[in-house]
Amino acid sequence: MIRFLNLLFAPGFFQNTQVMNALLLGGVVAAISGVVGVFVVIRGQSFVGHAIADFGGAGAAIAVLMGINTLWGFLGFGVLSAAVVELMGDRAREHDLATGIVLSVALGVESLFLYLDTHFTGQAGAPMMILFGSIFLIKPSTVSIVVALTAATTVIIITIYRPLLLCSIDPDLARTRGVPVRIVSLLFIVLLSFVVAEGSFIIGALLSTALLIGPAAAAIRITHKLGLAMLYSAVLGTLAVWIGIVLAYDSFLWPPVRRGWPVSFFVCALILLFYLLTRLREKLPGSGIMMVRRVT
Amino acid sequence: MISPVKVKKGDAILSIENIRVQFNQRCVLNDVNVQVFPGEFIGLIGPNGAGKSTLFKVILGLLSPIQGSVRVLGRAAKSGDRLIGYVPQKLFLDPNIPLRARDLVALGLDGHRWGIPLPSKVRKKRVDEMLKAVDAYRFADSPVGQLSGGEQQRLLIAQALLTDPQLLLLDEPLSNLDIKSAYEVVNLVSRIGREKGIAVILVAHDMNPLLSVMDRVLYLAEGKAVMGRVEDVFRNDVLSGLYGYPVEVLHVNGRIMVVGGNNSGINGYPLECNCCKSEAAT
Amino acid sequence: MLDAGIFTQSFMIHAWIGGTIVAILSAFIGFFVVIRGSSFAAHALPQAGFAGGAGAVLLNINPLCGLAAFAVGGALLIGYLGDKERNDVITALTLVATLGAGALFLGLTNKYATGAYALLFGQIVGVSSDQVVATAFIGIVCLLCLAFLYRPLLLASVSREIAEARGVPVRLLEICFLVVVGLATAIIVPVVGALLCFSLLIGPNATSVYLTSSPGKAMALSLLISLVTVWISIVLAYISGWPIGFFVSMTGALLYACARAVHYFRVKNIRLKAGIIQC
Ligand SMILES: Nc1ncnc2c1ncn2[C@@H]1O[C@H](COP(=O)(O)OP(=O)(O)O)[C@@H](O)[C@H]1O
Ligand SMILES: [Mg+2]
């Protein structure tokens, strides 16, 4: 038994504070991403959800140059540009283009500052850190900030849960019921930026989409009850991050390089695995899930 | 150019016999029979989810019934048949899409062909003629995305007519239009149908704009269909038999309304109305 | 400040040729990306390509091969999985799948992965003469495919239902289009970089739709904008040594903002005139 556990958790796993921080933060962020992700999927905002991470990436690149914590860069730029996108376009397709244009500017700024980072701060690893995350390198001081941010997000989500749900499912009905749809959407996108910023900080700007969309897309295929979907989604996300961390820690002993495989890889792989399993399940006869009709 | 197919008087353009259509074991159309003759105007009426669009898919050859036969001018239905013109309910276009009204209509002529269109006088002439025929020449060079629903509907009809079809299928063309535009579109379609001898099947929730122009009505409900002249279909016994429970046909100021429930019209639900279909079905 | 080397050095000649081909190609592909509203796919496929490029660097093979394999593979994945799921969700998941692999490739690469970063940010000096030939070849293939798909694709973008009723194999058509985007990505990424490939794809067309409403004119205008954007960016990147993608995105955004301003004042004028007539 002990030998088996040792095989699973490489020696020193539970004594390492970095690892413990990673487990705590990873779990918290994955759970909140899972919950918010369900809203993102039903609102059809995956593109914006992904774009916010890249907006934040630009901020993070600037933060590296200025020598401040990248979390502030992710947060500041994420919130700002998400609000701009939300205010720029109304209709779905216009939104798509508006997101694209803002994203294009953000990526331009990001690539410039990443270039400057590697040339002027001597941090050759800065692009790698911003784009692909650095969960084992989190400063302990950051942990409390992330936890507080998540708590705030959770409270606001619970407060606006019902109007938000109505706006997401049927905006016209919501409008007739007197829900201020514009404001709720704006509020949601700000919350979304918080969550995406945390995700980007942990598994990187390019991959935070994994935590946001993957578990939610899988959960929605398991159940049609939204509350339950959020629970499943949070659980799946957290599981993926935890198992990912364990595997990444173990992988320090793996070939070919013996300096570890990236956590982001494991997390993405696990999330995709979960998603594909839910699709497979659907193929089995008698699973009782109706075919989701294609939205065109 | 496509030469018009000669149709003998009396031959059905469309003949559907005993078809049955299922989605995942759920039967949507059951034992439906339809015969449509050249130049006829048919109103296809029925509550939401009755299978009207499904029937169109079957006629267009996009969906094959598990039983029964569908023949268009004597040939089995196949997808891409030039003899059928199809008009979808609505365009979902960005207001800034770089496409003028004439470009949309031109797609009706050769949008299914591979390759880029070569500029041609004949092509332009055909498109212009068609734009005039549907009274859309005024806004031929306006961006499609900024036209009103009624104007877009005209363009959709024009694009469907460009292949010289013998049968025109319109799926809920009136549902996004105000009453005036709805009457305009109905009169336009009926006029063109008469002039060119094209049979028209037009789906609508509300049969009233069609009353003056339609030759026969095809009523779909609960997977079954009845077809006949307006006064033969809109009768309490006929529609009650179709729905399987008592429904009542009310005549109010020359308008017709079908309501569910029994003798008291006040508690009845209008059955074709968009909003109360689910309650009516239970 | 502008020395003659910008036009005479051999790597700059390659950059000019490569950049011009890429500009032409992205103007035409971008037209459909914009009218179909598939910006997300246009954003995801280059990044998928980048992951493939990183894999090629790890395995020491030609990055272009890895790039093309992953971009086209990503396109097929989006097309294949997209059948029963919302398009944006599938695109996001495809992005995650390819980039997850990319993270692994980069993590396992022992040397500092200069080659991979060049793919991320674009590198005008990096275009070899072999690559110019490959770029021209793939570019022509993509343009021919696009010309072949033109009318049905336009019809399906305007109304999927009409296209289906006309017997156009819409799903196959959509997959073909995505594959063309993926293939094009493979030659655009080495020039402007994976992050900003997307800018070049949507920027010029997003600008031109505000200025004209005929498809032919819109494409011609986009071609012009695209060429100007790339040429300006090459010059500025040469002078400053900064990543070319930055200039592509800034030029694009600037032109877009101008177009929207012009559009805004035009609409206002029309409204004003209409108001006067009504009074
Ligand atoms: N592709 C499909 N898969 C499963 N069910 C379908 C499909 N298309 C239509 N249906 C079902 O068939 C019924 C009839 O649909 P439809 O023909 O669209 O009705 P309508 O009369 O409103 O046009 C509906 O209950 C719908 O849910
Ligand atoms: Mg319908």
> In b/e form, how buried is each residue of A34-56, taking b as 16+ CB within 10 angstroms?
bbbbbbbbbbbbbbbbbbbbbbb
On whether both B107 and B76 belong to a single domain, the answer is no
**Nearest-CA residue of chain C relative to B144?**
C213
Please state the length of chain C.
279
Q: What are phi and psi of B216, to 5 degrees?
A: -140, 165
- Distance (angstroms) between ligand 1 centre and the Cα of B186 equals 25
Residue B125 lies in a domain: yes
Q: Between chains, do A271 and C199 touch, taking CB under 8 Å as contact?
A: no
Residue C247 lies in a domain: yes
* Mean pLDDT for chain C overall: 89
Q: Give me the residue from A51, A101, A207 closest to C100, CB to CB.
A: A207
Q: Give me the residue from A91, A290, A291 closest to B94, CB to CB.
A: A91
Find out whether C68 and C131 touch, Cβ atoms under 8 Å: no
- Distance (angstroms) between ligand 2 centre and the Cα of A115 equals 54
Indicate whether A289 pLDDT > 60: no
Over residues B169-198, mean pLDDT: 90
On whether both B99 and B72 belong to a single domain, the answer is no
Find out whether A205 and A49 touch, Cβ atoms under 8 Å: no
On whether both B78 and B180 belong to a single domain, the answer is yes
Indicate whether C228 pLDDT > 90: yes
Q: Between chains, do A91 and B24 touch, taking CB under 8 Å as contact?
A: no
Letter for the amino acid at C262? V
Q: What are phi and psi of B31, to 5 degrees?
A: 55, 50
Indicate whether C70 pLDDT > 90: yes
- Residue B94 distance to chain A (closest CA, Å): 6
On whether both B174 and B137 belong to a single domain, the answer is no
- Residue B54 distance to chain A (closest CA, Å): 14
Q: Which residues pair with B16 in a beta bridge?
A: B34, B70
pLDDT at residue number C203: 93
Q: Between chains, do C104 and A104 touch, taking CB under 8 Å as contact?
A: no
On whether both B60 and B135 belong to a single domain, the answer is no
CATH number of the domain within which C224 lies:
1.10.3470.10
CATH superfamily of A2-295: ABC transporter involved in vitamin B12 uptake, BtuC (1.10.3470.10)
Over residues B247-260, mean pLDDT: 82
Residue C279 lies in a domain: no
Place of tokens 């850190």: A129
On whether both B172 and B48 belong to a single domain, the answer is yes
**Would you tell me which residues 91-120 of chain A have a C-beta closer than 8 angstroms to some C-beta of chain B?**
91, 93-94
CATH number of the domain within which B78 lies:
3.40.50.300
On whether both B110 and B157 belong to a single domain, the answer is yes
On whether both B2 and B78 belong to a single domain, the answer is yes
Over residues A144-161, mean pLDDT: 92
- Distance (angstroms) between ligand 1 centre and the Cα of A146 equals 47
Count of domains for chain B = 2
| pLDDT (tens digit per residue) in C112-165 | 567 777 888 877 776 788 888 999 999 999 999 999 999 999 999 999 999 999
In percent, the amount of chain C with pLDDT more than 90 equals: 61
- Of A174-183, C9-18, C217-226, C264-273, the range with the lowest mean pLDDT is C264-273
Ligand 1 pocket (Cβ < 6 Å) reads B 23, 28, 46, 48-54
Over residues B213-241, mean pLDDT: 88
pLDDT at residue number C112: 56
Sorting pLDDT into bands at 50, 70 and 90, what band is A196? very high
Sorting pLDDT into bands at 50, 70 and 90, what band is C1? low
Residue B1 lies in a domain: yes
d(CA C24, CA C16): 12
Over residues C90-113, mean pLDDT: 85
Count of domains for chain C = 1
d(CA A72, CA B158): 57
On whether both B77 and B191 belong to a single domain, the answer is yes
On whether both B42 and B169 belong to a single domain, the answer is yes
Chain A positions in Cβ-Cβ contact with residue C104 (cut-off 8 Å): 261-262, 265
Sorting pLDDT into bands at 50, 70 and 90, what band is A137? confident
Domain boundaries in chain A?
2-295
Cα distances from A45 to residues A57, A86, A136, in angstroms, run: 19, 11, 30
Cβ neighbours, 10 Å, residue C255:
19
pLDDT at residue number A21: 85
Q: What are phi and psi of B27, to 5 degrees?
A: -85, 120
- Choose the residue to mutate in B19, B21, B22, B23 for probing ligand 1, maximizing ligand atoms within 8 Å of C-beta: B23
Question: Containing domain of residue C183, as a range?
Answer: 5-274
Place of tokens 């007739």: A176
| pLDDT (tens digit per residue) in C195-223 | 889 999 999 999 999 999 999 999 999 99
Q: Give me the residue from C103, C246, C252 closest to A262, CB to CB.
A: C103
- Choose the residue to mutate in B24, B44, B53, B58 for probing ligand 1, maximizing ligand atoms within 8 Å of C-beta: B53
Question: Containing domain of residue B206, as a range?
Answer: 1-83+165-233
Single out the residue of A201, A208, A205 nearest to residue A237, CA to CA. Answer: A208
Q: Whose CA is nearest to atom 10 of ligand 1?
A: B23
Q: What are phi and psi of B85, to 5 degrees?
A: -100, 140
On whether both B12 and B104 belong to a single domain, the answer is no
Give chain B as a 3 state SS string. Answer: CCCCCCCCCCCCCEEEEEEEEEECCEEEEEEEEEEECCCCEEEEECCCCCCHHHHHHHHCCCCCCCEEEEEECCEECCCCCCCEEEECCCCCCCCCCCCEHHHHHHHHHHCCCCCCCCCCHHHHHHHHHHHHHCCCHHHCCCEHHHCCHHHHHHHHHHHHHCCCCCEEEECCCCCCCCHHHHHHHHHHHHHHHHHHCCEEEEEECCCHHHCCCCCEEEEEECCEEEEECHHHHCCHHHHHHHHCCCEEEEEECCEEEEEECCCCCCCCCECCCCCCHHHHHC
Residue B226 lies in a domain: yes
Q: Whose CA is nearest to atom 24 of ligand 1?
A: B49
